[in-house]
Amino acid sequence: MSQKPDDSQAMADNPFYVLGLRPDCSRVDVEREGQKLLGMLGLRLKSAATYMSPLGPRPRTEDKVRAAMAALRDHEKRLAHEFWASLPPPAAPPKPPPAPETSGPGPAPFTGAFAALGWRRS
């Protein structure tokens, strides 16, 4: 949850997505939701085990929830996290862009390629 400028997880592990909150939520909401999720994770409830981010579903852990709560208590860090949470979490993972048309595809991967040489290890 660091705020390095090259942190590629700014979107995927954004504290707002981890806690399932929107950027306009209050500090009380953060504490309440964080405690609720920690309790659910402690009970190993399946509904709390993952969260949806713009990059797709991600596993939610107690460490992530605690780090998210700590990050949102700091106003300086919260400012940047609010920016990266402008996009509402999607209901489904992003659809991959269309692939360009290519010429004739080759055969399927040949899984027996090593065995054909008599090699057991590959």
Partner 1 sequence: MSAPKDRVAGSRSRSRRRSGRRRLGPVLALLALAIVLGGPAFVTQLYAIGSVLGGLILLVGLGGWLFALLDLVGGLVWPVLRRTVIAAGLVRPSYYLTVLARSAWEREREGGQVVAAALALLHRSHDPALATWLEGKIQARAGSGLGSVVATGLLAASRGDRDGARDILLGVDTFDPDYAPRAARRAANDWLVADAAARGDWITVMRRGVQPGQATAYTAFLARAAARIRGEALAGEPNPTDLGLWWSWLLAPGRKAMRPLLDQARAAPRVLHQRKPPPPGPAPATVPLVDPADHADDPVAHAQALHATWLALRPKTAGQPATELEQRLSATRMQELCRAWEAAWPVAERRMRQRAAALTAQTRAEEALAAIRRAVAVELAGLARAAKLPLDGFEVEVATAAEAASELRAELLTGVEAGSEELRARTAADRRLPPAEESRAWNQFRRGYEEATLLGGLALRYLMFPQVHRDVCGYAVWLWNDRKEYGLSGPMFQWLLREAEAVGDIEAIELQRKNVGAKK
Residues making contact with partner 1 (CB under 8 A):
3, 5-8, 10-12, 54-56, 75-76, 78-80, 82-84, 86-88, 93-100, 102-122
Nearer to partner 1 among residue 42 and residue 94 (C-beta): 94
| Least spacing, CB of residue 41 vs partner 1, in Å | 24
Nearer to partner 1 among residue 45 and residue 113 (C-beta): 113
23-to-16, 20, 50, 100, 113 alpha-carbon distances in Å: 7, 10, 19, 37, 53
Nearer to partner 1 among residue 40 and residue 55 (C-beta): 55
Cβ atoms within 10 Å, residue 66? 15
Contact 91, 52 (CB under 8 A): yes
Nearer to partner 1 among residue 59 and residue 104 (C-beta): 104
| Least spacing, CB of residue 117 vs partner 1, in Å | 6
| Separation of alpha carbons 84 and 34, rounded Å | 19
| Least spacing, CB of residue 116 vs partner 1, in Å | 3
| Separation of alpha carbons 11 and 80, rounded Å | 11
